[in-house]
Each structure stands twice: as structure tokens, then as C-alpha cells.
């Protein structure tokens, strides 16, 4: 390990080799109580009580991040945050992540060191342990993260449990990362708050479990846009989700971006992705503190199927992001 620390940051991955890359990514990891065997063997060993919840996300250079926009530490933090958000949406407590790291041979060691610092920082914020993974060469920098966790005796909160009469509530913010993308795409770096939101999401850690304890009937991680992701809830539950536009205030940074770009600020709030807020449905009166009620759940009518409305109408813009181009 001392030898790895002494390697110059300008050394490339091709020059230092696979084992030095692994040692860099795993250096200084604090052991957690539920990690019996961490990095270094063919598999990690965790102490698991009850059902295991898992999810996976892949972050690809020039799709989920750009090296000219994000620092290496930002990329490491984002890789952890977007994955843990999925377990939050199940009402679970994430405990461990496994990392697949693919990079071009010319990448410098100092980049990996900074990315590792971001990985470790977000793991600490989310309360998870990096327990292992794999490294390989590739044309583009790619991080594949699998997250593992448990339900602590609770049933999972699914997308299919929303019921007519429930209210819809939001924890976290929406529109900020989309505003940051609009700014960065035009070559600007301000407002700084939205640029930072695009680089690293602010996941409301612990709120998924709080929602589950409060009796959330359905929940989803807002990754592709609030309308798009609540559309999954509506479809799985066979209901109509009707949001109130007046429940959404436009914060000053989004006002500034909208004025500069001509974008509708409510398009940012309702269809912008990558903030990783949590949206859930609750019985009336059961919404936890800190969650904001933004709409209601209704039964489908005779002339329309399940879906998401805003003030009783279909939103005129695309509902959110789709990796293969179709609006949803």
C-alpha cells in the first residue's frame, strides 16, 4: 500500500497496472459492523438479516457525466448517490456497494485518487460500505455500482401500492440538475448552485425509511423527471396522479436559468431529472414531517387510463428523459 501511495499522480493506469488501481480504489476503507469480509478476496461477505434489497446503475462518460463539467470527486459521489437513491425509494436502508470501474489506459492515477475520495465521501454520507468490485480497461470511463441493503423488518414500498384518496408528497428538490444541464450545455458555470446540483445530486438519505415507517403506499426515486417517474407509479398502481402546479415554487436559481434560456421553469421542475428526490403516496394525514404534499391520487375515469396530470390536464411537454429517445 505504501508503494501505491508513493506512485506519482501523473502515472497512467497502463503504467501502474490493475492491482495498483484496485489498491487505490480500496485504500483506507473503514470496516463496517455488517461487513465480515471486505475487498481483497473473490467475494465480500456481509451479515444479512432478513430480505436483501439490491439495485444497479451504470454511469457512462458523456451520457451521465462529462469530464469537462465534473471533477473526478463529483463523479465518484454521483455514482454512489444515484444508486443509494433507488434503495431509499424501496424504503430500505442501504449498507454496501460494489463497484465496477472501467477506464481507458491513458487515464492518470491522480484522477482515480480524486474519484476514490468522492466515492468514500458519499459512502460515508449515505452510511454504506464499498465492499469490492472489479476493474477493466475500456474506451470510455464507466462506473457500474450495485447497492445492497435491508428492510429492517418492514415490507418493501413498491410502485404498485398507490390508492385513490392518497396524497402525493415530495422529499428533496426537482429541476435543479436540469437547470444545471441547461447552463453547462451553453458553456456557462453559473448559477453555481444548479451546476453543483447537476454534478452531484442531493439525495435525502434516510427519508425512504422514514416514509416506509409512516406507511407510504408507493414510492419512486425521481431520476428521469417527476412526471415520468410518477407515471411508473400511476401505471403500476392503475391510478391517476394529479399534481397541483401551485404546490411548486420556483426557486431563484431556476428563475435565473429560465430567464436566461427561455425555458419554462415548470418544465424544469416537473420533467427535469437527476435530482434523485423521493416521491411517495400516503394516506391523508400520514405524511411525515419534511415532506411536501404536491397532489393527490384518483381513480381512473371512464374515458382515460392511468397516468399523471397537472391541474387535471396532460402536461404539454415530454414527461422526462428516456435513454433511447422516446418521450414518456
14: its cell numbers: 497502463
Annotated binding-site residue? 282:
no
Annotated binding-site residue? 311:
no
**Cell 492515477 -> residue:** 109
Q: Could you tell me where the beta strands, DSSP code E, fall in the chain?
A: 35-37, 45-46, 52-60, 93-103, 129-137, 142-150, 167-171, 218-222, 239-243, 277-282, 292-299, 307-310
Annotated binding-site residue? 55:
yes
Residues in the chain: 328
Alpha carbon distance 120, 112 (integer Å): 12
Annotated binding-site residue? 42:
yes
Annotated binding-site residue? 221:
yes
**93-103 and 129-137 beta bridge pairing:** parallel
Residue 95: name the closest of 135, 144, 53, 56 by CA. Answer: 53
Annotated binding-site residue? 127:
no
Annotated binding-site residue? 185:
no
Annotated binding-site residue? 86:
yes
Alpha carbon distance 84, 126 (integer Å): 7
According to DSSP, residue 186 is labeled T
**Which residues fall within 8 angstroms of residue 91, CB to CB, at 6 or more apart?**
151, 154, 155, 156, 157, 208, 209, 211, 212, 216, 219
**Does residue 204 contact residue 277 with C-beta atoms inside 8 Å?**
yes
Annotated binding-site residue? 34:
no
**Cell 446503475 -> residue:** 57
CB atoms within 10 A of CB 261: 15
Alpha carbon distance 272, 146 (integer Å): 24
Binding-site residues for Mg(2+) sit at 42, 55, 57, 86, 134, 221, 224
Binding-site residues for substrate sit at 64, 274, 321
Binding-site residues sit at 42, 55, 57, 64, 86, 133-134, 159, 221, 223-224, 274, 321
Binding-site residues for ATP sit at 133-134, 159, 223
Amino acid at each position: 500500500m505504501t508503494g501505491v501511495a508513493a506512485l506519482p499522480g501523473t502515472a497512467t493506469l497502463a503504467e501502474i497496472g490493475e492491482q495498483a488501481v484496485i489498491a487505490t480504489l480500496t485504500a483506507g476503507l473503514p470496516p463496517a459492523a455488517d461487513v465480515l469480509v471486505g475487498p481483497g478476496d473473490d467475494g465480500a461477505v456481509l451479515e444479512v438479516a432478513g430480505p436483501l434489497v439490491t439495485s444497479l446503475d451504470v454511469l457512462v462518460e458523456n451520457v451521465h457525466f462529462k469530464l469537462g463539467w465534473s471533477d473526478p470527486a463529483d463523479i465518484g459521489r454521483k455514482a454512489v448517490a444515484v444508486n443509494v437513491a433507488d434503495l431509499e425509494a424501496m424504503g430500505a436502508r442501504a449498507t454496501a456497494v460494489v463497484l465496477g470501474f472501467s477506464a481507458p489506459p491513458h487515464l492518470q492515477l491522480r484522477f482515480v485518487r480524486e474519484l476514490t475520495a468522492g466515492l468514500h465521501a458519499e459512502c460515508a454520507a449515505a452510511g454504506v460500505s464499498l465492499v469490492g468490485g472489479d476493474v477493466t480497461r475500456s474506451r470510455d470511463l464507466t462506473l457500474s455500482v450495485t447497492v445492497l441493503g435491508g428492510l429492517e423488518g418492514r415490507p418493501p414500498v413498491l410502485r404498485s401500492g398507490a390508492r385513490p384518496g392518497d396524497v402525493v408528497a415530495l422529499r428533496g428538490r426537482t429541476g435543479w440538475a436540469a437547470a444545471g444541464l441547461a447552463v453547462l450545455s451553453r458553456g456557462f458555470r453559473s448559477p453555481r448552485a444548479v451546476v453543483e446540483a447537476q454534478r452531484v445530486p442531493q439525495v435525502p438519505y434516510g427519508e425512504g425509511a422514514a416514509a416506509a415507517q409512516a406507511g407510504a403506499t408507493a414510492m419512486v426515486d425521481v431520476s428521469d423527471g417527476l412526471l415520468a417517474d410518477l407515471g411508473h407509479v400511476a401505471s403500476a398502481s392503475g391510478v391517476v396522479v394529479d399534481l397541483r402546479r401551485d404546490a411548486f415554487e420556483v426557486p431563484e436559481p431556476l428563475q435565473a436559468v429560465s430567464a436566461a434560456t427561455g425555458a419554462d421553469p415548470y418544465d424544469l421542475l416537473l420533467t427535469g431529472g437527476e435530482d434523485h428526490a423521493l416521491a411517495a403516496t400516503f394516506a391523508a394525514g400520514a405524511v411525515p414531517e419534511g415532506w411536501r404534499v404536491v397532489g393527490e391520487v384518483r381513480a381512473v375515469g371512464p374515458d382515460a387510463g392511468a397516468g399523471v396530470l397537472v391541474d387535471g390536464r396532460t402536461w404539454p411537454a415530454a414527461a422526462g428523459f428516456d435513454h433511447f429517445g422516446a418521450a414518456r
